[in-house]
Every structure is written in C-alpha cells, then in structure tokens.
C-alpha cells in the first residue's frame, strides 16, 4: 500500500526552529536511468529544507514532502542514502535502493487479486503493508518456468517487519513459501508445474516480536519486491577477492543464471557514502570492504568481500593450510559439512580468527572451533556481541598444527552456505566512533564532539592525533591527542568554534597514529542495518 501524504507524514505543518527529521521514504528505491517521485516521512518545514543524496539527482517539489529523484543509468552502487537538512540541523540518513528491473507501485485493494491483470515480468513492486494487510500479486507462468521472488525490507531498508512470501498455484494451493533468507527478508524460487495465473502473497509480523497475534503493518513497513523468471543472483563466487586488484571477476550465482557468465568486480565510492562494517561487529582487517559484482542481464544484489590479506583456495580434500595472515572463501556444500583449516603455530603465539557469513548476506550460521594439536577443543564461538558471526582470539599453549573447524550451527549446507575465514596476528590497532551522525554548532557558541577510542590487539597503540577534515573556512576544531594511557586513552572531546557564518555539510573525524605502525582511521557513526558511515553532518547556524 502506498499511502497519501497526509497519512504518511508523522507531523503535518511546520516545525519552527527544529532540525528536520526523516524516518523513511516511499517508494524506497528506483530503477537505473529512471525517475521516481518519493514521499518523505518525518517532521520538517519544507520551504527551509534541502536534500543531500550522493549519486542521485534530487529535486524538491512544491508539494510538502515530495522529492523527484533521477537515478543515473551508470550509478555504480545498489544502495545510497538520503538526508534532509536545513539551517537548524539535519535528519538521519535513510536508504534508497537502486535496481535494474522496471518498477511499479502496488495498488490497493490487492488482498484478493482474483480477476486482476497479471503483472508484466520482470518487475520490482514498491509497496507498503498496512496493519493486518496481505498484499497479493498475480503473475502468469508457463509450466517449467522458474519464478524468483525476492523481498527487500528489513535487511537493506530497515523496515521493522519480519515478512513471509508465499507462491499460490492456480488452484489456490501454496506451492512455495519462505520466511527468512537475507536476514529477516524472504526470497523464494519455484518451477511452475502447470500453466496459469499464480499468486505471490506477502504478509509480515513485527521484526521485534510482541504479544499480538495478527499480521503487522504500518507507515514504516515499506518494501521492494522483485519478481522475475529471468536471471537473478543472490551472491557471487568466490566469496572473497583481493582488495583493489584491477580486472578481478566473479561468477554470479542464484537462479536462472546461464552457465559461463562472469561479472566484473568494482570498488565503487560515493562522497561520504562508503559503507563500513559496524565497529561493534566482526573485527575485520583494516581497509577490507564489500565490493560490487555486476554482469549484463543479471539482476539481484551481488557482493564479494575484498580483503588486503592473501587469499588461499579451499582444499578439495583434507585441511586447508592457512599461513598467517591469510583468508579463505569457504563453502559448506552439503548438510552436516565440517570444514577443516590448519594453522602452524608456536607456543605463546597469538591469533585473531574471524568468520564472516551472516554479515555478508549468506544463510550460513557459522560456528568455529579451535582445536589444539592434541585434539582438545580449546574454545568454540558462534556470535560476537551484536554480530551474528564469530570471532576467536587465542594464544597457542603448545607448538604444532592447530585446527579451525567451521560448520553451520544447524548443520545446513548448500551452494549458498559460504563464509570468509580470516586469520591474522592480534596486532595493536584502534577504532574511533561518535554517538551521532549529525552535530549543530550554534552561532557564537562553542560546540563539542565526543570521540570514543577503542584500542585492541596484543600490545599498546601509541598516541593518536584526532582532528576534523572538511571544515568550512571560519570554523576551527583544534586537534586533540588520545594518549596510550590515562584519561584520554579511551575518549577525547573535540572543541569546535565558528565565526557566525551559516554552513551545512559532511565532515570526517580522523585519527592518526605512528606507533607501533602508521595508521589512519575515520570515526564511524552509529550502525544501521549492520553498516556504519564515516561522515558526520555539521550544521553551523548563522548569526
């Protein structure tokens, strides 16, 4: 359901003297090379608002809350972020997804689509679930055609929904169903057993379970449903590639993929919009990031992990021998599979082990065991804090070959049950983080920005010099030092002061250390949907 503006805005009318807020937009994405008019949900004085949308051409329309967004045909990312800002401050960013399929908006009522015209495939449907709502979409299939239905809602849009997809045959029988595939978002594929009109049915429960026994919905339950009988990729192989290496290719994998197709690996960036792994998640090697895979005619989101450490191929039989540091793109190809990786270690040697799977969009729920040369299980890990993927940090008690055993928590296995295992020394390193992604510096008054410093690894990190990049003329923020010990080791406060000239834009908080190694790290803002950005929006109010 796409609601009218009066129903979707949380606060109608002006909000004087307050920064704009933005909770979501609908539709929540668009097609490359196309235009779409979206409605902003939040609180704002529209005449004072401007929009920041890296990679997109965004135009504020006269009607309050309406944006016209043009998506360049060559936009190199599958998701960007949109922010509203005004002289009083800025909203949080909200996601905007980018696809290649033709797009339509759902039309209510569509609970019972009997007699409705089938959707033309392929298509991406932009919609919204109301409370108690069931959205249904008729599609015409021929016997033997494989229909792919893939939902984007919770995992990549942050919608507070735990959705279910069903495919119903012409006779009214549910022939396929999926609940969770990409996180809480369902995806299904089904080969039709007969000609005729089939129905794709969508409903949801709250992402945070409550005591209600009913289908959930609301103004924030926005979604994008992709339907196709053509090629649709869920991932690419191998799962990991060398960071920054030109000319790297990966094979799309999913449904209806022709044999022999290869996709180009790229490392796209938009100003202020590099998505980093959340700082409270898996401790990844410095510089590692997701890379995009694209292939003509292949739809769906394809990402691989780009790592700076050497990659080792998974052994066909026997253990995969891993030097330190290194990484392996692993596959649990069959149910109850257990992959063995071996590491030669000396007594007292430390090792940091990370296994990434759920955070990279794979269905694998990885469990890793550390087994010493005598066969004793030293430790076992499943989740790490708020991350669904494990981290192990150990010191070898004896010389010899130590074993890392990786399996799925529920003994599942398939071509999609992949992971990336990284072993590296627990070298001293640090992270920076801030508590908010927006800051207001009032006219004629000083401002403060607290920066949290997280030091980890074996051995101390020396003094870290922390400053702000991208400040406008007239705004000063003297650098501060986080010492290795003492009151500033875990946190510092930056002092900002302006000359009274109004300004609004993104800045970066950056820390630089020289001991024990030269390192430069940008502070991350609070995580959303498993990722963090490294820009803070600064508003300087005028006199």
Domain residue ranges in the chain: 5-99, 103-230, 235-426, 429-540
Name, in order, each residue with C-beta under 8 angstroms of 375's C-beta and a sequence gap of 6 or more.
none
When the candidates are 3.10.180.10, 1.25.10.10, 2.40.160.40, 2.60.40.10, the CATH number that belongs to 5-99 is 2.60.40.10
Q: Compute the distance between CA of residue 101 and CA of residue 129 in angstroms, rounded to an integer.
A: 21
Fold of 429-540: Immunoglobulin-like (2.60.40)
What is the per-residue pLDDT across 15-73, written as a single tens digit (0 to 9) for each?
A: 346 899 999 999 999 999 999 999 999 999 999 999 999 999 999 999 999 999 999 99
pLDDT digits (tens, 9 = 90+) for 257-293: 999 999 999 988 888 787 888 755 457 888 899 999 9
In whole numbers, what is the pLDDT of the chain averaged over residues?
91
350: left (phi over 0), alpha (psi -120 to 50) or beta: beta
Residues 6+ apart with CB under 8 A from 248: 241, 242, 265
Q: What's the CATH superfamily of 235-426?
A: Spermadhesin, CUB domain (2.60.120.290)
User: Fold match between 5-99 and 429-540?
Assistant: yes
* Nearest residue to 224 via CA among 102, 91, 398, 93: 102
Those residues whose C-beta lies under 8 Å from the C-beta of residue 263, and which sit 6 or more positions away, are 236, 249, 250, 251, 252, 293, 294, 295, 298, 302
Best CA proximity match to 366, nearest among 430, 422, 412, 428? 412
Question: How do the pLDDT tens digits run along the chain, 543 residues long?
Answer: 443 322 223 233 333 468 999 999 999 999 999 999 999 999 999 999 999 999 999 999 999 999 999 999 999 999 999 999 999 999 999 999 999 999 999 887 777 766 678 999 999 999 999 998 999 999 999 999 999 999 999 999 999 999 999 999 999 999 999 999 999 999 999 999 999 999 999 999 999 887 777 799 999 999 999 999 999 999 999 999 999 888 899 999 999 999 999 999 998 888 878 788 875 545 788 889 999 999 999 999 899 999 999 999 999 888 999 999 999 999 999 999 999 999 999 999 999 999 999 989 999 999 999 999 999 999 999 877 667 899 999 899 999 999 999 999 999 999 999 999 999 999 999 999 999 999 999 988 899 999 999 998 888 899 999 999 999 999 999 999 999 999 999 999 999 998 888 999 999 999 999 998 889 999 999 988 888 999 999 999 987
Q: Which fold has domain 103-230?
A: Jelly Rolls (2.60.120)
For residue range 105-162, what is the model confidence (pLDDT) as tens digits? 988 777 776 667 899 999 999 999 999 899 999 999 999 999 999 999 999 999 999 9
Give the separation between CA 386 and CA 366, rounded to whole angstroms.
15
């Amino acid at each position: 359901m796409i609601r009218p503006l009066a129903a979707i805005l949380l606060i109608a009318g002006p909000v004087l003297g307050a920064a704009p807020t933005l909770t979501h937009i609908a539709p929540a994405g668009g097609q490359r090379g196309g235009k779409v008019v979206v409605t902003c949900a939040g609180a704002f004085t529209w005449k004072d608002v401007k929009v920041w949308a890296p990679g997109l051409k965004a135009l504020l329309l006269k009607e309050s809350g309406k944006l016209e967004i043009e998506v360049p045909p060559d936009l190199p990312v599958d998701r960007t972020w949109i922010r509203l800002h005004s002289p009083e401050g800025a909203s949080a960013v909200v996601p905007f997804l980018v696809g290649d399929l033709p797009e339509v908006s759902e039309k209510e009522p569509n609970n019972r689509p009997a007699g409705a015209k089938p959707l033309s495939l392929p298509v991406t449907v932009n919609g919204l679930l109301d409370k108690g709502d069931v959205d249904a979409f008729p599609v015409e299939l021929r016997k033997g055609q494989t229909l792919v239905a893939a939902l984007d809602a919770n995992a990549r849009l942050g919608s507070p929904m735990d959705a279910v997809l069903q495919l119903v045959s012409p006779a009214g029988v549910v022939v396929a169903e999926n609940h969770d595939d990409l996180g809480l978002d369902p995806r299904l594929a089904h080969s039709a057993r007969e000609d005729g009109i089939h129905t794709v049915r969508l409903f949801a429960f709250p992402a945070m379970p409550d005591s209600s026994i009913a289908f959930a919905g609301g103004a924030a339950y926005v979604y994008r449903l992709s339907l196709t009988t053509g090629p649709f990729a869920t991932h690419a192989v191998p799962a990991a590639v060398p960071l920054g290496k030109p000319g790297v290719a990966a094979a799309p994998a999913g449904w209806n993929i022709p044999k022999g197709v290869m996709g180009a690996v790229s490392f796209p960036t938009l100003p202020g919009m590099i998505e980093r792994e959340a700082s409270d998640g898996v401790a990844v090697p410095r510089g590692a990031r997701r890379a995009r895979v694209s292939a003509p005619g292949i739809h769906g989101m394809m990402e691989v992990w780009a790592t700076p450490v050497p990659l080792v191929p998974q052994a066909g039989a026997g253990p995969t021998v891993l030097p330190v540091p290194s990484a392996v793109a692993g596959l649990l190809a069959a149910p109850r599979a257990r992959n063995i990786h071996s590491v030669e270690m000396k007594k007292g040697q430390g090792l940091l082990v990370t296994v990434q799977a759920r955070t990279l969009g794979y269905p694998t729920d990885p469990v890793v065991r550390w087994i010493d040369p005598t066969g004793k299980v030293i430790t076992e890990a499943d989740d790490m804090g708020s991350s669904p993927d494990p981290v192990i940090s150990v010191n070898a008690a004896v010389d010899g070959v130590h074993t890392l055993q990786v399996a799925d928590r529920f003994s599942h296995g398939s071509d999609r049950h992949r992971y990336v295992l990284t072993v590296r020394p627990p070298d001293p390193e640090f992270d920076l983080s801030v508590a908010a992604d927006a800051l207001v510096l009032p006219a004629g008054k000083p401002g403060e920005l607290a920066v949290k410093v997280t030091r980890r690894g074996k051995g101390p990190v020396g003094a870290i010099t922390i400053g702000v990049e991208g400040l406008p003329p007239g705004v000063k923020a003297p650098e501060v030092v986080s010492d290795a010990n003492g009151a500033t080791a875990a946190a510092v406060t930056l002092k900002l002061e302006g000359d009274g000239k109004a300004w609004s834009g993104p800045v970066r908080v950056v820390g630089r250390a020289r001991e024990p190694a030269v390192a430069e790290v940008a502070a991350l803002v609070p995580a959303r949907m498993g990722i963090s950005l490294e820009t803070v929006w600064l508003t300087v109010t005028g006199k």
